[in-house]
Amino acid sequence: MEQLIEQPTGFFSHMDNLDGAIAALQSNDTSVVQCATTASSVPLEDGEGKYTLVGLISHIGKNTGSGHYVAHLKKDKKWIIFNDEKVALSGTPPISHAYLYLFQRTDSVGSPNPSY
């Protein structure tokens, strides 16, 4: 089952002025909130942004002080677990318990923005 995630809008859509956005938040400036709410009405130059989950990092053990981290990557619609020297098919990756998720943008694969 392929999972598609829509690109969020708001705070991270203004990375060109991140320092200014942080400063405005610290000074209780409400214009940042207004900017974040109006950002969704501005059309994005490269489309909506659709992403699919292609990998995740999870932890095996009772706590972060013991155990170790493993990676699950999707290849040819199958999940593969990378656990130290062991590499095998993974029937049920722990998607809801991962620490880090890896996504690939699917709506622009093979068609990069010509202005880049």
Exposure string (b/e) for 25-63, b if CB count within 10 Å is 16 or more? eeeeeeebeebbeebeeeeeeeeebbbebbbbebbeeee
Residue 45 has pLDDT above 80, yes or no: no
Q: Is pLDDT above 70 for 107? A: yes
Q: Please, what is the average pLDDT of the chain? A: 75
Neighbours of 106 (CB within 10 A): 14
Q: Is 68 a catalytic residue?
A: yes
pTM: 0.56
Phi-psi region of 77 (alpha: psi -120 to 50; beta: other; left: phi over 0): left
Alpha-carbon distance of 108 to 52, in angstroms, equals 12
DSSP reduced 3-state for 4: strand
Highest mean pLDDT: which range of 9-13, 14-18, 29-33, 91-95 = 91-95
pLDDT above 70 as % of the chain: 55
Among the listed residues 59, 68, 72, 97, the single catalytic one is: 68
* pLDDT reading at 56 higher than 60: yes
pLDDT (0 to 100) of residue 42? 61
Which whole number is the average pLDDT over 42-69? 83
Spatial distance between the Cα atoms of 108 and 96, rounded to a whole number of angstroms: 26
Q: What is the predicted pLDDT for the residue at 1? A: 47
pLDDT at 11: 47
